[in-house]
Every structure is written in structure tokens, then in C-alpha cells.
Chains A and B, each alone.
Chain A
Amino acid sequence: MFGDYSIGDLGAIFAMQGFAGLILFSVYVLMALGLAIIFGQMGVINMAHGEFMILGAYVTWMTSSFFQSHLPSLFSGYFFVAMILAFIASGALGMLVEWALIRHLYKRPLDTLLATWGLSLILQQAYRSVFGAREVGVELPQWMMGSKQVTDTIEVPINGIFVMCLTLAITVVVAWIMYKSRWGKQVRAVVQNRVMAGAVGINTEKVDRYTFGLGCGIAGIAGSAFTMIGSTGPTSGQLYIVDTFLVVVFGGAASLFGTIASAFTISQAQSTMEFFMSGSMAKVLTLLTIVAILMIRPQGLFALKVRK
């Protein structure tokens, strides 16, 4: 395997593979953050999470088309507008869904799974009816394309760096919201003891709605970022849902740090294995390992030990 490469090449391999792993890591974190909030904090299994992401992607596509035809001079900056719009659109849809559907099911987590699966089917067909069955391509502004030459053999893609920065920023903001802001404290209070939180004057319904909206909004941003590397079609969202859930569960559902750590572990494992075997087998092995570890340590990597 290594015989064909020189030492310098090998160094470059590991540098670039590491970077590929970091991009995958960012992607996983983006996908999983929203779900970690919804599933980890609220206990809702949102199978339509992928469809919220795709909504963000479609919003990005529409924004880019709009800028192309109406504001071509500002095209290079459209992506930031698109991300904000994606957040608003997915977040708003999320709040609507919470109001219409989820709030009736807080006591039946497995039923949220079924109901949101139904929702995902409806959303998929809605996308197909509105945007057509074909995939849409989002054109990136010039500055996001291409790569940066680090050394002779090592190049890093610019959109990869962008995704990583975006992930970092969103993670910081989410961590701040959940752990430092007053609102985050309310969310955690509601999670721990709904009745008590209500009794001390927290509007639990409002907290639920905004938490769900926030989770979906982050999914929207993730979808927006995905247009840079992946495809946008009515059923694209389904591809991500299992991976995303595994990342969250593997990390230990209630811990944001665990989610990030598990995204890192899984992405590095997968990208390293992909180098040595076929993509299919790498995927199978990664999933199998996660399942095996979850069987041994069902609470995930970073779960608190508490009296139940």
C-alpha cells in the first residue's frame, strides 16, 4: 500500500486525509447540532430533520437565483443572506410543526418518531411538487471556489475552510445560548422538570417552541452550507438522517460536547478507513463499530452517571 509513495507523499497523504476528515467532521457537527438540541434536550425524535436541512438548501438556491438575476453586483455576498434566510425559513417551519404536531406528543417519544417520519414524507413530496424532481445546483460565488496551496503537495479547498469556520461560529453561538444565556437556562430547567419550571414562571410552551425552532433553524443553516459540497433534491435529506442520529446518540444524547466529540471520532475513523478500503466497506465498518460500541456502552461516549 505505501510502497508506491515517497515519505513526502505520505506526509501529504496524512495531512490531506486529516483535512478531509475535518471537513467531514464539520459537516457532521452542523447536521448534528440541531438534532442534539431537539433530541438531546427535548427528547423529540425528529425524523424530518433532513427535510428541514433541505429546506435551507432550497432557500439558498432561490436566493442565489434571485441575486443572479436581480442583484448580480452583490452576488459574491449572497451566501450570507441565504444562510440567514435559511435559518428563518427552517426555524419558522419548525415552530409551526411544534405547534401543530410535536407539542401533543411530548410524553410519547416513540410516537414523535412516527409522526415526524410522516411529516418528512409530506415535505419530500411538497419539495418535489414545488421544485421538481430534478436536483438543483447552487452556483457559488467565485471567491469560495478553488483551493489554497499550502505546500507543493498539500492543497486545501476554500469551501472546506469556510464550512469549518461556519461550524466553529455556530457551535460557539449554540454553546453560548444553551449554557450562558438566560434562555438556555430556561430550556434546561424545562427539560429537567417541566412542572417545576412552569411553577416558577417559565412559559414552558414558549420555551419548547423556540427550542424546536432553533434546532430546525440550525438544520436550515446546515442545509445551506451543504449546497457547497452536496446536492439538493427532494430526497437528499433522507441520506443524512441515520448518520446524524448515530452521531448524536454516540456522543451521549444530552451533551453538546459529546456530540462534537463523537462527530470528530466518527469522521476521522471514516475518512481514514476510506483511504484503505472501498467507500462502501468503510461506511459499513464505521456503522458497525458505532453499533458495537453503543451495545457495550449504551449511554454513549459522554453521558453523566446519574441516579435514575
Chain B
Amino acid sequence: MINSRFFNRSELIGFLSLLLLLAVILPFFLDTFRLNLVAKYLTYAFVALGLVMCWGYGGILSLGQGVFFGLGGYCMAMFLKLEASSVANTKIQSTPGIPDFMDWNQITALPMFWKPFHSLPLTIIAILLVPTLLAFIIGAAMFKRRVGGVYFAIITQAIAAIATILIIGQQGYTGGINGMTDLRTLNGWDIRTDHAKVILYFFEVFVLFACIITAQFIRLTKLGRILVAMREQEDRVRFSGYSVANFKIFAFCAAAMFASIGGAMFTLQIGFMSPSFVGIVPSIEMVIYTAVGGRMSIFGAVYGTLLVNYAKTMLSESFPELWLFGLGGLFIAVVLFFPSGLSGIWRDHVARHIDRLIAMRSEKSKRAWAIKSAADGAPAE
């Protein structure tokens, strides 16, 4: 029976090996510096996960995920910045107690929209809701009018451009191009120490798996199947009595929320946030992580993100000039030769061999393996 279980075999392998990799192998073998790098990569995995939902399943390519990533990151950063800008820490300013960049821009009182970020619960709510709300507004405006495909991609790209110019231009409120730097403590707990980094890493892995499971849950409900159906035959779904726009809005909002969580994690891990994550370039890079992993695969997205970023770090350490050639080539190769990304390679090459292997072994010792391979739920066909 199809879909009778939460994970099929391939997904189970993907899930367990990812869990093993992130929760055991990497923390065990990497020093704190490298582990922190992995933590940074994983923040992008949240975005990639969201893109699987809205691009892979829903067929909606957003080139503005950086906006949501940035919003989440900025919300977190505002909280941390306020905590770092205590009156005691900012004695030398003309107005102590406000963030340094405000002081430099002759702002003498904390702006209204900053005030809620004194409170951690409100900040968390903002991280979850603000980007989702924005996505809802954009999505409602666009999908209700059947803007889709290429047009949606270009418009989201324009939104990313607008967001960047706004953040850079309004530096009294946002820190401008420098972003919000020098974030120190979370409710008094120093997030810069190696010890904290490790704890934050595990926290992030935990949240990531929570998101993966949520995404998998959504995928397995009828809603997940409707998304797939919509991508293939939008009109058929519409004339089966569904409001296609609402489902697209849902997928886009979910993607925005995942991206925002990733952004907040990024701020915690790296200790600052800047407009360079909001613009067009990072947004498109996040799409390529998803494409490399396989736009249809939840686990593929995470593996793809890790792989591309690892390659980026490695290449740019040893051959900085070559990095752009490598990344550009990767875009082209994925699109031309591996449209299903890593997960496609896994499915077409690796998984097939495993299936054959299992089949062969069960041929040989039919009785011994019969029970086990039935439990494995060998291919649905």
C-alpha cells in the first residue's frame, strides 16, 4: 500500500543518515570552527526546505526567499542588538541605551517598531509571523490574479531588490549596509563562546529536523498531493473544486516561514545580519542549493545545501578565482544533465542497485529474507 508509512525506504535511509551525519558524525569529527560553518550552511537548508515545498511541489519559483530569510534574521538581530545596547554598554554614545548605528544617525529615541523586540516571546512570534504575513500579502495579490511562473519569479526578484535598497537606505533604523553587528548575548547567555556555538548547533539541528518532519507531514497529507497535482494540471485541480490560489498562498507562506526560521538561526550562529542576504544574488543561490539537492526531495535539499556550501568554502579557500566558474558550471550542469539533482542520482543509480541487491539476496535465501523485505516495503509496483 502506498503512503501507508511516514517514510518510504529511500526517505528512511535519507533521514537516518542525515540524523547520523548531523547529530553524531559532524560534531564528533569537526572542530568548533568547522562545526560553526556547518551550522551556517544548515541555516540555508531551511530556505531550501521551503523551496522544495513551494517550488518543487507547488511549482512556484520564488527568487525572493532572501527577503524572508532576511526578515527572520533581522527580527532576531533586533532582539540581540537591543540586549547588546544596554545603557551600560553604550555609555560613550550621545544617547545611551539605543543601538550604536541609531546614535550615529542622530536618532535619539528607539523607534516604535523596535520596541516589541525587547521581549523574546514577541521576537519569536515576529520571526514566525512577519515574513509569513508578507508572503501572504504578496501571494494573495499575485496568485489570486493568476500571476505565476516566470512573472512571479521576476516580481519576487524585484521585491528582493526593493528590500535591499530600503534596508541600505534606512540605515538609522536598520544599520544600513553594515547590517547589525556585534550581537553578544541571548537573555544574558553569551552566544559567542565555543561552548555556546556547539549548543546552538544542536539546537539548530533539532529545529531543522522538526521542520523536515513538518514538511514531510504536509507532503503526505492530501494537501501535499494537491500541490503536486496543481503543478501538473492546474486547471484540472481548479475544476475539481479547489481554490488553486489558496493552496499556492499556503505553500509560499510555508516556504517564507521556513526561510525566516533559517534567517533567525543564521543570526544566532553568526552573530550578525546584513542586507547582503536579502538581495537577488543570495536568493538565487538558495534556489540552486535546492536544485542541486533535487527540487522534489526534502532530504535532497538539505544534502544539496551542505554540498554546495562545502564546495564553496573549499574552492574559495584554495582557488578563489575558480569558485565562480565552479558555481556557474554547477548551475548549468544541474539544469542540463541532472534536473532532479542529487535525489535523482540517488533514485536512478544508487537506489536501483540497492533494490537489485535486495532482490538478488532474497532470491538466494528466500525464506530468510521474505519477512524482512516485506517489512521494507519494496517498491510499490
Contact = CB atoms under 8 A, between A and B. Distances in A.
Contacts of B281: 238
B169 A118 contact: no
Contact of B336 (A115, A121, A290, A294): A115
Contacts of A245: 154, 157-158
Contacts, number: 114
Q: At the interface, is chain A mostly helix, strand, loop or mixed?
A: helix
A306 interface: no
A129 interface: yes
A258 to B, nearest CB: 14
B158 A114 contact: no
A138 B154 CA distance: 32
B155 A125 contact: no
A275 B324 CA distance: 39
Nearest to A47: B284
Nearest to B138: A295
Nearest to A295: B141
B332 A115 contact: yes
Contacts of A284: 162, 165-166, 169
A114 B155 contact: no
A296 B155 CA distance: 12
Contacts of A283: 165
Contact of B158 (A113, A118, A291, A296): A291
Interface residues of B, number: 41
Contacts of B154: 45, 245-246, 249
A298 B158 contact: no
B329 A291 contact: no
B169 A280 contact: yes
A208 to B, nearest CB: 17
A284 B142 CA distance: 20
Interface stretch (B95-103, B143-151, B180-188, B190-198): B143-151
Contact of A122 (B325, B334, B335): B325
Given A43-B150, A108-B339, A114-B291, 8 more contacts: A110-B149, A115-B336, A118-B328, A118-B332, A119-B331, A121-B324, A291-B162, A295-B147
Interface of A: 43, 45, 101, 104-105, 108-111, 113-115, 117-122, 124-126, 128-129, 238, 242, 245-246, 249, 278, 280-281, 283-284, 287-288, 290-291, 294-296, 298
